[in-house]
Structure 1
């Protein structure tokens, strides 16, 4: 039987590094081979290949009534991204089976990924997965299957105007305890841009004013929010991926963060284009106020895959400077241009006489002698012609342009 003769049946994907898992981007070509190793002669049917990718979400919610559970409702949905089928080994047209000799047999394959794909993801209530499955049909036996998963990463370039724009915000809160006014606490924060990549450091610029009677503690954290959508319902899971804490601020004091560093750990990129799964990030600057709720300021973040170009950090500053320099377009242009100042009003008579006087022979040296240098000195300090609003060479109306046909 073939089951006894089948030593190896697997799917291998071609990738630059054999030790690392295969990773592809949308639009790339996926190639590989199905390996079939037999210990003896075997009769086979069809060998089929199926590449598939989809996003799935599923969770359950229980409604309780007192001490017992009233009912449990399930939510699930699925979005397909990839579906490719191919036949690597087809049986003969006469209905017979294919006979393979003992040894190793390889069946290569290749297919193109769509241009739009969601990044591979594994979450508590859903996932995005891609895989290649091979099915080997055998006479009088069950179908043998082999499966190989691969990773897809959607490229997110942070070198775009939307992701290079600075993010800023201001929040304030009135601290209350037992219906007593304890004063006001305010925070203002700013970051250089919206898009970052894992491993980068986010410099946080913030001002925390503590006008209350309590000592407060400022903190900053990167929050990941996973959103799962099914049948009109949403399920969210939030987690802190990185955080820092500042020094305590006494009552009536202020603290300024001059680029407090917060490093982004190795996390997955943002998923923003999938209909049922979204992965979003935010930078939250909060102030712990004793006796009342926290003061929270949230700035949106996008974790990308393409890092910042060397000139990308100057893009926002250049664009802002360019917009400032364009203010002159809104100025009113005068109807008549203003005459330039006279030469005598800019250069004094003593400087003019000194400049027009011939240079001393000792200062010139032997290398500056000759008629050519004398020619240069003659026109070097000559004043410009006087300004006149009347054209000294007006165009005569009696001069007509010559016709080309004449």
Structure 2
């Protein structure tokens, strides 16, 4: 590269001091839903008049999954993507195929934009172990084939579906308010431990509490202690392949049950308000929950039971906007 071109590029880079994209909130929680109007502005600050080839802002909603598996001596990668919507608003575009004829004035320049989010069923924003559902705004300012400025910000999105896990099963919706019961009998040699677990309902909102009753009949020679867990199951699919990731959150312990005694106890469990709700309305990932109660005892394997649990969307909380990415430039070829 000649010295003249190098100094021209450096001068062009330095002329753009700031590039950002912002949006206007439509509610106190700061989230968007299908059918909402997404308005905002792109701000660019330059030290002098700057020629550009194109300047645009894009709105995008997408889901993507990616993970690797070991198959023998080889590592196999699996990935997939789904686009929910894609819109582009051209702020400036030269008319002569890249001659840089459009001009941005020196100083602070603000360009408004408006998009209408499609009024269709789309999953809420989510980030799991091997996949994520992201809704974002991106601004691109192109000065030349060698020089592109970019910035991005994500905005929180909430589905309109009250039950994004049961669109085809009315029985699941009816069962959300009903009690859930399960029993487990464990034998250790000639000894026996019986555990009955009952939750007051299957559906509970973020931030709410649920009562769980445990009856333990301990006919063994060991002391046992009930422990309560919330199990999160993330399932990811890429074409015909699937993988699962689970997390366990310890809620706490119940009262100890000595040998040769019986005891009934009720534990009130509070669902964390930040916990992602259960969902099935994404073709590449789903999120399920279970309530697990196990008996902590000096055994080879702790007896446990699991109850279905559906986490429902609670009252939306004001969400912090994720930091914007700094503008960056394409590297020059070696």
Q: Aligned to 1:15, which of 25, 45, 64?
A: 25
How many residues align? The count is 294
Q: Secondary structure at the match of 2:124?
A: coil
Cα shift readout 1:85-136 (whole Å, capped 9, x = no counterpart): 2212233589882233322221111112233222222222222222111122
* 1:262 correspondence with 2:269: yes
* Equivalent in the alignment of 1:330: none
* Equivalent in the alignment of 2:117: 113
**Is this contact kept in 1: 2:68–2:77, CA < 8 A?**
yes
* Equivalent in the alignment of 2:207: 199
* Equivalent in the alignment of 1:317: none
State the distance in 1 between where 2:129 and 2:176 align. Answer: 32
* 1:171 correspondence with 2:183: yes
* Equivalent in the alignment of 2:330: none
Structure 1 length as normaliser, TM-score? Answer: 0.65
**Is this contact kept in 2: 1:174–1:181, CA < 8 A?**
no
Q: Aligned to 1:60, which of 59, 68, 88?
A: 68
Cα separation, partners in 2 of 1:90 and 1:163, compared to 1, 3 Å = farther
Which structure: greater helix fraction? 1
* Equivalent in the alignment of 1:33: 41
State the distance in 2 between where 1:78 and 1:187 align. Answer: 44
Which structure 2 residues correspond to residues 336-351 of structure 1 after superposition, within 5 A?
none
State the distance in 1 between where 2:152 and 2:245 align. Answer: 30
**Is this contact kept in 2: 1:157–1:306, CA < 8 A?**
no
Q: Which structure exhibits the higher relative contact order, with contacts defined as CA atoms closer than 8 Å and separated by 6 or more residues?
A: 2
Which structure 2 residues correspond to residues 150-165 of structure 1 after superposition, within 5 A?
150-155=155-160, 157=162, 161-162=173-174, 164-165=176-177
Cα shift readout 1:353-381 (whole Å, capped 9, x = no counterpart): xxxxxxxxxxxxxxxxxxxxxxxxxxxxx
State the distance in 2 between where 1:6 and 1:291 align. Answer: 67
* Structure 2 unmatched runs, 5+: 1-10, 164-171, 316-334
Q: Which has the larger radius of gyration?
A: 1
Which structure 2 residues correspond to residues 178-217 of structure 1 after superposition, within 5 A?
180-183=189-192, 185-217=193-225
Q: Secondary structure at the match of 1:143?
A: strand
* Equivalent in the alignment of 2:15: 5
* Equivalent in the alignment of 2:88: 85
Structure 2 length as normaliser, TM-score? Answer: 0.78
Q: Secondary structure at the match of 1:24?
A: coil
Cα separation, partners in 2 of 1:156 and 1:208, compared to 1, 3 Å = farther
Deviation at residue 35 of structure 1 after TM alignment: 0.9
* Equivalent in the alignment of 1:102: 106
RMSD, matched Cα: 2.7
State the distance in 2 between where 1:141 and 1:249 align. Answer: 71
State the distance in 2 between where 1:59 and 1:12 align. Answer: 32
Cα separation, partners in 2 of 1:169 and 1:292, compared to 1, 3 Å = farther
